Amino acid sequence: MTISFEGDSAATLFAEAVRETADRGRPVSPRGMPTRELLGVHLVLTRPRARLLHLPSARILNPAFAVAETVWHLLGTDDPWIFDYNGQLRQYADDGVLRGAYGPRMRRWGGYLDQLAQVITTLRQDPDSRRAVIQLYDPARDAAGHRDVPCTLGFRFQLRDGRLHMATTMRSQDVWIGFPYDLFFTTVLQELVAGWVGAGLGTYHHHVDSLHIYERDVPAAVGLPLAGTGPVDEMPELTTPWEGFDEFLGQVRRSDVPPAHAGWSQMGAAMHSYRLWKGGELERAEDLARELPGPLGTALVDWYVHLRARRALRPATAGAVR
């Protein structure tokens, strides 16, 4: 039987899913790692721009990594610059490369096929199509034994009544660590595709075969605050033309997006701020974070507070975690 959760924000969806997984999940230990697991879970986000999870002090994300990973995926790359935003990813790399990186599979499947471009063409030519699909899991590659195997199987897009709905299917999802970052990326992808096909933003659906939480994270999950009682804080609009999109993403990565693109300008500024932090310019990084309006700035300021607290406890600790 499918277990369903619905919410109008990432915080509401996350809080409900974490509590249910911690309370009702059955113990399983794949690869010897104890978890609590729910099978067959369907999560629905009704307002995809409310994509940034921020539930201090129980769960504070690195929003600069959420942005950087999104740009990294969309660029279609597996380049190692992503490690500058999350050094822990190196443990999953083979010869310095994340073999399961979504970007090359999405933008250059088989070395040549841009599945994202194909989705746009399909929906522009046939708005009622059921063939707007991006496939990520590749059995020919993913049985090879590399460390990084995609948890995401693929994405589907449905254009109905002028609104673009999106569904993601995952074989596996760590609700505490991975889900907030995956939700950020996939809803950005949904919003972009909606803009490219001239549609409004519909609902987002997230199907998970194994939704789980590691036992090490259960104590933190118990302290999770109630969500859903306050105002929903949405991210700025991110629609931008498809023509020249890759070049535009390069501008975002370099943090030189014109202010007219407010949403992407903020995304680039968040990445720039974190690069300053990693380079030891802590005060400049924090000043830039405080200048960022909306949920991204708030989350980045709190992330730096979190990192300073960790430094005080463990001075030798490096700064990047998911």
Quick check: helix, strand or coil at residue 257? coil
Does residue 322 sit within a domain? no
Using the predicted structure, report yes or no on whether residue 179 has a pLDDT greater than 70: yes
Tens of pLDDT, residues 22-63: 999 999 999 999 999 999 999 999 999 999 999 988 899 999
Q: How far apart are CA 98 and CA 77, in angstroms?
A: 10
Does residue 254 sit within a domain? yes
- How large is the average pLDDT for residues 177-185? 98
Using the predicted structure, report yes or no on whether residue 258 has a pLDDT greater than 90: no
Q: How far apart are CA 21 and CA 50, in angstroms?
A: 22
Tens of pLDDT, residues 89-126: 999 999 999 999 999 999 999 999 999 999 999 999 99
Does residue 144 sit within a domain? yes
- pLDDT band, residue 1 (cuts 50/70/90): confident
Does residue 234 sit within a domain? no
Number of folded domains that form the chain = 1
Does residue 54 sit within a domain? yes
Alpha-carbon distances of 151 from 61, 174, 257, 272, rounded to whole Å: 20, 9, 32, 29
Give me the CATH number covering residue 27: 3.30.572.10
Position 317 scores a pLDDT of 47
Half-sphere exposure of 105 (CA within 13 A, CB side): 21
Beta bridge partners of 92: none
pTM for the whole thing?
0.95
Does residue 147 sit within a domain? yes
Strand duo 163-170 + 173-174: pairing: unpaired
Position 292 scores a pLDDT of 96
Does residue 127 sit within a domain? yes
- pLDDT band, residue 322 (cuts 50/70/90): low
Domain hosting residue 259, numbered range: 3-228+239-313
Does residue 321 sit within a domain? no
